[in-house]
Amino acid sequence: MSAMTPVERVEAAYDRIRSADRPEIWIHLRPRDEVLAEAAGIDPSLPLAGLVAAVKDNIDVAGLPTTAGAPTYGYRPEADAPAVARLRAAGAVVLGKTNLDQFATGLVGTRSPYGAVRNAWDPARISGGSSSGSAVAVALGMADIALGTDTAGSGRVPAALNGIVGVKPTKGLVPVTGVVPACYTLDCVTVFARDLRLARAAAEIIEGPDPADPLSRTGTRLPPPPARPRVAVPGPQHLDGMADGWRTAFDTAVARLASTGVEIIETDITPLLQAAELLYGGAFVAERYAAVGGHLEKHRDQIGADLDPTVASIVLAGRDRTAADWASDTARLAALGAAGRALLDGCAALLTPTTTWHPTLEEVAADPVGANARMGRFTNFANLLDCASLAVPAGFVDGLPFGVMFTGPAFSDRALAVLAERLANPGLDLFVVGAHLTGQPLNAQLVQAGGALVGPARTACGYRLHALATEPPKPGLVRTAAQAGPGGGEETGGDGATGIEGEIWRLPAAGFATFTAAVPAPMTIGTVELADGRQVKGFLAEPYAIEGAPDITRFGGWRTYLASR
């Protein structure tokens, strides 16, 4: 997957680490010579050969300490976590362990005795957490892929704030064996990469059950979305309070997705947001206490030193939750989940901003709990409600990355990737004049290729239309060799002077390629000039096909010709 050899890629990675001068990214970095020796033995035929990886320091890597961001907690594992072992088996080389919000508790990336991880684009701003070091290592080009974890949004928020892709798989698809738990029943191992396809490839490589993790699972993948899928977006009341310019950026992303043929449905997502509040505001925080509360109790003298006081206050508060609280919140969560699923029934996914703002380090220091709470509005419910989620870049606002997120039901992971590809590659326009027009016999081929009607259009003058002897009947569009006029089209002074009527359809890149490859002779796809001066791809006929074919240019279009017969 890389043009460089594994050794060359490792050399480049260490050079990048040195030149970037971001020591807060790494908690443990393997010696360069050791990693180079490992890279030299990589089989170049492996799917991830030549790629370097970073691993969040709450995931075990054999031979390196696991600290979860707390020096007092550190231990040295004898084996890789399955997710790490599977990456290595596919040819990836692990560089080291990355910084995080301590005990994976936070969405800011500043709650660590190893230092606040600064944003890849603006060092005065947060990186997002808790998988802060992993995300920034990828964003700065130190690593091709990185592993993180996600309980509340930690595999998605830092992706958005650093302009990369964050894959949060369905719970259990990737085992959490060898992962320091935050909330064991909710935790997910996640993947960061700069490219969507690489991120998804790595995510699928690390999937698969593990006998040591009783919550790991497989499931039936949901089918890819239809050619004209329906995607829900939050109502305007849920988009209040976002950073300046982010609402406009989100609206632009929604319009971009709609231009690919997706039907956008505005939805009241109140039940989902209410479910999100239960992650920290309900009894589920007791899981955090069950995971590391005993360690914090034992090392209370280190709170404020090696143990982050904000993290400690959150985790220790879980001690006070009762079994009755847990039962009550579980029942409430079930009701909210049912309401949310009903609202999204018939939709392939929910599209939201990934987070709501991008604070500075100073803003988070001034209000660590409140600032963090704003980060998880759209992420906190996903694991509680057993959703898959995918965070992708969606442009920039004031020079900083802006990201959006697709969220869908369990096992919709691949379907979400298909939708994200449509957003990243909104498609190509195709001008049609005959049997592919709306209502005509071959229109379904455009729809099946993911096409969406943009609207009516007309050629520049100088085109002629002929009725071909094909089945089903089709017209052949050809351009004359007359002198081009002021608008770029030829002046014919007669039939064709006002152009030929047709339609513009927009197809996703993959659908466009598949569709055009199947166009039979004598039809061909060429460049058509429109009456407004635009040049788009469109149906034309090879010259031999119009020999003896009736000239129907005077009708101005195929539908008018058919109506006259």
Please write the tens of the pLDDT for every residue from 165-176: 999 999 999 999
Residue 1 lies in a domain: no
Tokens describing residue 133: 């070091």
| pLDDT single digits (tens) 19-61 | 999 999 999 999 999 999 999 999 999 999 989 999 999 999 9
Q: Which residues of 106-115 are buried (b: 16+ CB within 10 A; e: fewer)?
A: bbbbbbbbbe
The confidence score (pLDDT) of residue 496 equals: 62
The confidence score (pLDDT) of residue 321 equals: 96
The confidence score (pLDDT) of residue 495 equals: 56
| pLDDT single digits (tens) 314-344 | 999 999 999 999 999 999 999 999 999 999 9
Are 71 and 160 contained in the same domain? Answer: yes
Tokens describing residue 359: 């604070």
**Pick from 424, 441, 468: which residue ends a domain?**
424
Residue 472 reports pLDDT greater than 60: yes
Q: How remote is the C-alpha of 337 from its chain's centroid?
A: 23
Instruction: Report the distance separating Cα 377 and Cα 356, nearest Å.
Output: 7
Are 288 and 394 contained in the same domain? Answer: yes
Residue 188 reports pLDDT greater than 80: yes
| CATH number, position 537 | 3.10.490.10
Are 230 and 304 contained in the same domain? Answer: yes
Give percent of the chain above pLDDT 90: 89
Q: Is the Cβ–Cβ distance between 253 and 423 less than 8 Å?
A: yes
User: Which residue do the tokens 């370097």 mark?
Assistant: 52
Q: What angle do CA 277, 280, 283 make, to 5 degrees?
A: 100
**Cross-strand bridge partners of residue 468:** 474
The confidence score (pLDDT) of residue 404 equals: 98
Are 370 and 437 contained in the same domain? Answer: no
| pLDDT single digits (tens) 270-317 | 999 999 999 999 999 999 999 999 999 999 999 999 999 999 999 999
| pLDDT single digits (tens) 351-401 | 999 999 999 999 999 999 999 999 999 999 999 999 999 999 999 999 999
The confidence score (pLDDT) of residue 155 equals: 98
Q: Which residues of 526-544 are buried (b: 16+ CB within 10 A; e: fewer)?
A: eebbbbeeeebbbbbbeee
Q: Which of 102, 149, 158, 153 is nearest to 127 (CA)?
A: 158
Are 382 and 473 contained in the same domain? Answer: no
Mean pLDDT of the 518-530 span: 95
User: Which long-range contacts link 466-472 to residues 24+ away (Cβ below 8 Å)?
Assistant: 466/541, 466/545, 466/546, 466/549, 466/550, 466/551, 466/552, 466/553, 467/549, 467/550, 467/552, 467/561, 468/522, 468/541, 468/545, 468/546, 468/549, 469/549, 470/522, 472/435, 472/441, 472/442
Are 184 and 258 contained in the same domain? Answer: yes
Global pTM value: 0.83
The confidence score (pLDDT) of residue 482 equals: 52
Residue 90 lies in a domain: yes
DSSP states of 494-534 as a string? STTTT--EEEEEEE-HHHHHHHHHTPPTTEEEEEEEBTTS-
Ramachandran assignment for 444, one of left (phi > 0), alpha (psi -120 to 50 degrees), beta (any other):
alpha
Are 412 and 445 contained in the same domain? Answer: no
Please count the structural domains in the chain. 2
The confidence score (pLDDT) of residue 441 equals: 95
Instruction: Report the distance separating Cα 172 and Cα 170, nearest Å.
Output: 6
DSSP states of 224-282 as a string? PPPSS-EEEEE-GGGGTTPPTTHHHHHHHHHHHHHTTTPEEEEE--HHHHHHHHHHHHS
**Pick from 371, 394, 424: which residue ends a domain?**
424
Active-site amino acid positions = 56, 130, 154
| CATH number, position 58 | 3.90.1300.10
Range of the domain at 500: 428-564
Residue 494 reports pLDDT greater than 50: no
Residue 492 reports pLDDT greater than 70: no
Burial class (CB in 10 A: 0-12, 13-18, 19+), 358: buried
**Pick from 377, 409, 424: which residue ends a domain?**
424
Which position has the higher pLDDT, 150 or 493?
A: 150
Are 372 and 236 contained in the same domain? Answer: yes
Q: Is the Cβ–Cβ distance between 49 and 2 less than 8 Å?
A: yes
| pLDDT single digits (tens) 54-106 | 999 999 999 999 999 999 999 999 999 999 999 999 999 999 999 999 999 99
Are 386 and 323 contained in the same domain? Answer: yes
The confidence score (pLDDT) of residue 9 equals: 94
Mean of per-residue pLDDT scores for the chain:
94
Are 291 and 389 contained in the same domain? Answer: yes
| Residues 529/254/392/178 CA torsion (nearest 10 deg) | -150
- 353 CB neighbour count, 10 Å cutoff: 26
Are 66 and 215 contained in the same domain? Answer: yes
Q: Which of 352, 343, 334, 507 is nearest to 416 (CA)?
A: 352
Residue 412 reports pLDDT greater than 70: yes
Mean pLDDT of the 498-515 span: 88
Residue 142 lies in a domain: yes
Tokens describing residue 516: 């055009």
Residue 481 reports pLDDT greater than 70: no
The confidence score (pLDDT) of residue 418 equals: 92
Instruction: Report the distance separating Cα 537 and Cα 530, nearest Å.
Output: 10
Q: Is the Cβ–Cβ distance between 457 and 429 less than 8 Å?
A: no
Are 324 and 436 contained in the same domain? Answer: no
At 144, is the secondary structure helix, strand, or coil?
coil
Q: Is the Cβ–Cβ distance between 529 and 482 less than 8 Å?
A: no
498 confidence band (pLDDT: 50, 70, 90): confident
Instruction: Report the distance separating Cα 493 and Cα 498, nearest Å.
Output: 9
**Cross-strand bridge partners of residue 96:** 29, 54
110-114, 115-119, 263-267, 513-517: range with lowest mean pLDDT: 513-517
483 confidence band (pLDDT: 50, 70, 90): very low
Residue 488 reports pLDDT greater than 50: no
Mean pLDDT of the 426-430 span: 86
Residue 469 reports pLDDT greater than 80: yes
Residue 416 lies in a domain: yes
Tokens describing residue 463: 């085109």
Mean pLDDT of the 551-561 span: 96
